[in-house]
Structure 1
Amino acid sequence: MVSNTEEIQLNRLENQVDNGGGGAWDYLCLVRKLKVRRSEKVLKHGLSILNDPKKRSSLGPDEWTLYEQVAIAAMDCQCLDVAKDCIKVLQKRFPESKRVGRLEALLLEAKGFWEEAEKVYSSLLEDNPLDQVIHKRRVAMAKAQGNISGAIEWLNKYLEIFMADHDAWRELAETYVSLQMYKQAAFCYEELILSQPTVPLYHLAYADVLYTLGGLENLQTAKKYYASTIDLTGGKNTRALLGICLCSSAIAQLSKGRNKEDKENPELQSLAATALEKEYKQRAPTKLGLLISTLKSLKV
C-alpha cells in the first residue's frame, strides 16, 4: 500500500515531468518501486527515453527494465504494436528468458488469444512450477473470459501451493460471496482470521457471511465476530454495531428469549444501539429518525 507521503512524492514528480521539468527516469523508477499503475504516463515518458538513443544508452543495464515496463504499460493502454516492439527487443537480447516468456503470454492475453497464452504459461510452469505470477495470470485469464468457476478452480490450486497468500484467500472469499456460496466463503475467512487475527475487516466479513447463512449457531458466532470487530476498531465500526443489533434480534426470535448467551450479555445490544445513535447524531443527523425506528422494529 502506498503511503500518503509516497503518493505526494509521486504526484509532485509526475507534475514536474509533465511540465517539462525533467526527472522522467526518476519518475519511472518510483512508479516501479511503489508498484502503482500509471500506464499512460509510463508509456509516454518511457518512450521518450527509449526513442532517444543518447538517453537510452545512459541507462546501462536498466535499459532492459525500461523496455519491460513500457511493454506492460503499452498493453494496459492497448498499444499492442508498441508492446510487441518492446518484447521483440527483449527476445533478441534474452532469447531463453522465462521473464520475457511471461511478457509474450501477456501480449497474447491482450490480443484475446487465450488458448495460445495458456499454452505458453503451461510450458513455463513445467520449468518452474512455483512461479506465482503465472498462477495468478491463469486466475486473471479465467475472470477476463467470464469463467468464474474456472477462476475459483485456479485460485484453489494456487492456494494449495501458496497457502500464506492473504490476498488470494480474500479474492477467493469475495468470489464465493458473489456466487452466494457462503459456506465456502466462511472457510476462506476462517483461514484469514487464523493467519491475521488482528485485521478487523476479516472479522466483519466473516460475521456478515455467518449472518447471511442464518441459523442459531451461525448467528451466535456472527454476533461474537461483530463484537470482536468493534473491539479491534475501538468501537468505531458502524456496520458491526448494526450487526450486533440484527443478530440479537434474530437470536431472540429463534430462541424465544431463552438463549444463554443473551442472558449473559443483556447489555451488549443496548450498548450497540446507544453507540449507533451517537454515531448517527454526529455524522448523519437527518437519518437518525430512520435508525431509531429500525432499532424499535428490531425490539432493541
Structure 2
Amino acid sequence: MSVHSALEELARYRARNKRASQEVFEKGTLILQKNGHKKMGDEVWDFLEQLALAAIDVGRLEVADRCLRQLSDKFPQSPRVNCLAGIRLEASEPPETALKYYSDLLEADPTNVAVWKRRISVLRRMGQMEEAISELSQYLDTFYTDIEGWLELADIYACCNQYDYSLQALSHTLLLAPQNPVYALQFAETAYTAGDLPLSLKMFLMVIDMTDGDETECLSESTPLGITVRAWYGVKLCTRRMSRDPQLVTTSASGTSPPRHAAILDELATERLRVAYSSAGKKGDIAQGRGIVFSWVASP
C-alpha cells in the first residue's frame, strides 16, 4: 500500500470515528517509516493521536510513546494530550497509578470531560462499582446531556442486577434522544429483565412503530428487518409469559396499564416473525434459522 492511500484510509477512519486498531497501526507505522506524516500539515496531530491509541491497543507502547512525545512538544499541558498520556499509563501501570494521575488532572481542571470518563472507567475496571456510580452520577449532574454517560450508568446498574435503577438512567436517554429506536429497544429489554412486562411490551411496540416501514405501507405487505425483528421477538416473549402467568399482566412497578389485546399481539408477533424468516433475495440472510424460529413461535 502506498503512503497516499494509507493516509486516505486513516482519514476515512477518523471521519467515521472507527477504531480498527490493527489496521490503523499497520498503516500508521508505514506512514511513519516513509516520513509521510511530515507532509500532512496540521492534520498530522490528529494522525499522531489516532496512531498512539492504536499502538496502545495492540501493545506497541514504544510507537505510542513516540507519538506522545511529538504531541506533548507541540501542545504542552493540553487536556487532550494529558488524557492520552493517561491511557498510555493504564497500559503499563497498576490502575491505582492511573487513578491518581486522573485525580490530579481533575483537581487542576474539573471540567476535563475525557479525564473524568477515564477515571470512571478505571474505577469500574477495579470493581469499585459504588465509587464508579457515585463519580458518574456527579459527572451527569454537571454534563446532563451526555447520552453516553447515561448509557454507561445504565450498564453499570444492569451489571449489578439493579435493573430499576438502570431503567431510570435509560429514561434520561429517551428524554435526550426520543427518536432513537436503539435506546428504546434497550429500555424495553431492560424492563423485561426487571420483570415489568407491561412496560416492556409497550416499549417494544414503540420500537416497532418507529422502525417498521413507512406509514403508507400496509403491515401485511411489509417485511420486518433488523431492529424491528428483535422488537417483535420482545413482543412474543412478553405475551407468551403473560399467557403462562396472568399475574404478570397487572404486575408493573412503573404503573403501566396492562395490554388490552395481549392474545392478538401474540398472534401478530408470530405472523411477523414468520414473515421475517420467510423472506427471500437480499433479505434472505435472516432466514437461515427459520426452522428453529418457526418451531419456537409455534410452541405454546
C-alpha displacement at 1:73, in angstroms? 2.0
Partner residue of 1:286 out of 270, 287, 291:
291
Partner Cα separation in structure 2 for residue 96 and residue 46 of structure 1: 25
C-alpha displacement at 1:120, in angstroms? 2.8
- Whether the 8 Å contact between 1:210 and 1:221 is mirrored in structure 2 is yes
- Whether the 8 Å contact between 2:106 and 2:115 is mirrored in structure 1 is yes
Structure 1 gap segments, 5+ residues each: 1-16
1:46 alignment partner AA = G
Partner residue of 1:34 out of 5, 10, 16:
16
- Whether the 8 Å contact between 2:239 and 2:262 is mirrored in structure 1 is no
- Whether the 8 Å contact between 2:53 and 2:64 is mirrored in structure 1 is yes
- Whether the 8 Å contact between 1:200 and 1:229 is mirrored in structure 2 is yes
**Which protein shows a greater Rg?**
1
Partner Cα separation in structure 2 for residue 119 and residue 269 of structure 1: 54
- Output one character per residue of 1:140-195: Cα deviation in whole Å (capped at 9) or x when no partner: 22233344444333332322222212222222222322221111111122222222
Partner Cα separation in structure 1 for residue 55 and residue 261 of structure 2: 61
Partner Cα separation in structure 1 for residue 45 and residue 95 of structure 2: 27
RMSD: 3.1
TM-score when normalising by structure 1: 0.75
Structure 2 gap segments, 5+ residues each: 213-223, 251-256, 280-286
1:228 alignment partner AA = M
For 2:192, the equivalent position in structure 1 comes to 211
1:125 equivalent in alignment to 2:113:
no
2:29 alignment partner AA = L
For 1:252, the equivalent position in structure 2 comes to 246
SS at structure 2 position matched to 1:164: coil
Moved more, 180-189 or 243-252: 243-252
For 1:242, the equivalent position in structure 2 comes to 236
CA 1:263/1:41 → structure 2, altered by over 3 Å: closer, same or farther? Answer: closer
- Output one character per residue of 1:231-262: Cα deviation in whole Å (capped at 9) or x when no partner: 22326433233134135426634579xxx855
* Structure with higher RCO (Cα < 8 A, 6+ apart): 2
Partner Cα separation in structure 1 for residue 260 and residue 102 of structure 2: 58
CA 1:128/1:268 → structure 2, altered by over 3 Å: closer, same or farther? Answer: same
For 1:3, the equivalent position in structure 2 comes to none
For 2:161, the equivalent position in structure 1 comes to 180
Identity of aligned residues (%): 30
- Output one character per residue of 1:189-209: Cα deviation in whole Å (capped at 9) or x when no partner: 222222222333333333333
- Whether the 8 Å contact between 1:244 and 1:272 is mirrored in structure 2 is no
CA 1:213/1:68 → structure 2, altered by over 3 Å: closer, same or farther? Answer: closer
1:195 equivalent in alignment to 2:176:
yes
